[in-house]
Amino acid sequence: MWWEYVVYFVNATVLAAALRMATPLIFASMGGILSERSGIINIGLEGMMLTGAFMGMLVTFYTANPWVGLIGALLSGGVVGLVHAVATVRYKVDQVVSGTAINIFAGGFTVFMLRTVFDVAGTSPAVERIPTVAVPLLRRIPFIGDILGHQNPVVYLALILVVAVHLFLFHTVWGLRLRAVGEHPRAADTVGINVFRARYLAVIASGALAGLGGAYLSIAHLSRFGDGMTAGRGFIALAAMIFGKWTPFGALGASILFGFADAVQMRLQEVGIPRHFVLMLPYILTMVALAGFIGRATPPKSIGKPYEKE
């Protein structure tokens, strides 16, 4: 009896959907990790994603090539990241204030551009999208093949990115330096690490990755841009980063968990559990994790503080 329930909620179809829902969160949370590990809070992820979603669509519209659109999203996200870096590193703007400004800006800018370029409100015209692919061999494996075998290439890109960020952070000297800058910038500076450059690069990369996450929505998952289409995913990514304790694999797990909640909400509604309470879960879990009830999540030490050379 109860077994049938479990199979209804946890099966290959739902898990494949969970992975699709998780993909934009994975990109943005990897961006969040890079930025915050360098000591810069990035609550502007939402705005960076939204910008990437729009620019990805716009570049695809003009080039008819969604892969070029993806690069456009990467670059435009990077530019927004640069703005955050200049504001917080160079001009010592409060990091939360700068992120807030970026989120508000992106919300206005994307609609402004949508109306100016296409003279439409709400939704852009349809553009090419990156088609899903079937991976030979992998898709023949029972169960796992049903989840992983037939996905969008951008989904695989997200999974590769997690491994790459992990290797970078914990197995390269550059990653070690980045973490040193976020934990103890003064000491890092003393041993000759350029704190400012490290933070600039980390925050620009953060924006670029968030931009990719946004573009996944507009030119891979769907094939158009809609006003505010990121719908708070930048903040869920932030939550995933915290819930995953600022580690790539932790954030991956949290992203998939939150993606699963998103994928399963409609089915839960059918059995009488209001979906709104399911949608709340990522945020509540994050608060619980921060409070230390399920293994305390502790941010990098120097986070939020601008660095000044002596």
User: Could you tell me the smallest distance in angstroms from the CB atom of residue 230 to another protein?
Assistant: 13
User: Could you tell me the smallest distance in angstroms from the CB atom of residue 278 to another protein?
Assistant: 9
Using CB under 8 A, which of 10, 62, 92, 186 touches another protein? 92
Helices first, then strands: H and E counts in the chain = 13, 2
Cβ(169)–Cβ(179) below 8 Å? yes
Q: What is the number of other CB atoms lying within 10 angstroms of the CB of residue 257?
A: 19
The DSSP code sequence of 255-286 is HHHHHHHHHHHHHHHHTT--HHHHHHHHHHHH
User: Could you tell me the smallest distance in angstroms from the CB atom of residue 236 to another protein?
Assistant: 8
Backbone angles phi, psi at 150, to 5 degrees: -135, 80
274 contact partners, CB below 8 Å, separation of at least 6: none
For 292, the token pair is: 């230390």
**Nearest one of 260, 202, 206, 242 to 23, comparing CA atoms:** 260
Residue 36 or 149 with smaller CB distance to another protein: 36
User: Could you tell me the smallest distance in angstroms from the CB atom of residue 174 to another protein?
Assistant: 27
Cβ(169)–Cβ(175) below 8 Å? yes
Question: Which of positions 254-293 make contact with another protein (CB under 8 A)?
Answer: 274, 276-277, 279-280, 282-284, 286-287, 290-292
For residues 99 to 138, the per-residue mask of contacts with another protein, x marking binding by CB under 8 A and - elsewhere, is -xxxxxx-xxx-xx--xx----------------------
User: Could you tell me the smallest distance in angstroms from the CB atom of residue 299 to another protein?
Assistant: 8
Question: Which of positions 18-77 make contact with another protein (CB under 8 A)?
Answer: 41, 43
| The one segment of 58-66, 93-101, 145-153, 244-252 that binds another protein by CB under 8 A | 93-101
Using CB under 8 A, which of 50, 162, 229, 239 touches another protein? 239
Q: How far is CA 279 from CA 182, 272, 274, 283, 287, in A?
A: 32, 14, 9, 8, 14
Counting residues that bind another protein (by CB under 8 A) gives 43
| The one segment of 84-92, 137-145, 166-174, 251-259 that binds another protein by CB under 8 A | 84-92
Residue 32 or 66 with smaller CB distance to another protein: 32
94 contributes a contact to another protein by CB under 8 A: yes
CB burial class (10 A; 0-12, 13-18, 19+) of residue 290?
middle
Give residue 232's region: left, alpha or beta (phi > 0; psi -120 to 50).
left
Q: Using CB under 8 A as the criterion, which residues of the chain lie in contact with another protein when the complex forms?
A: 41, 43, 87, 91-94, 96-98, 100-105, 107-109, 111-112, 115-116, 232, 235, 238-239, 242, 274, 276-277, 279-280, 282-284, 286-287, 290-292, 299, 304
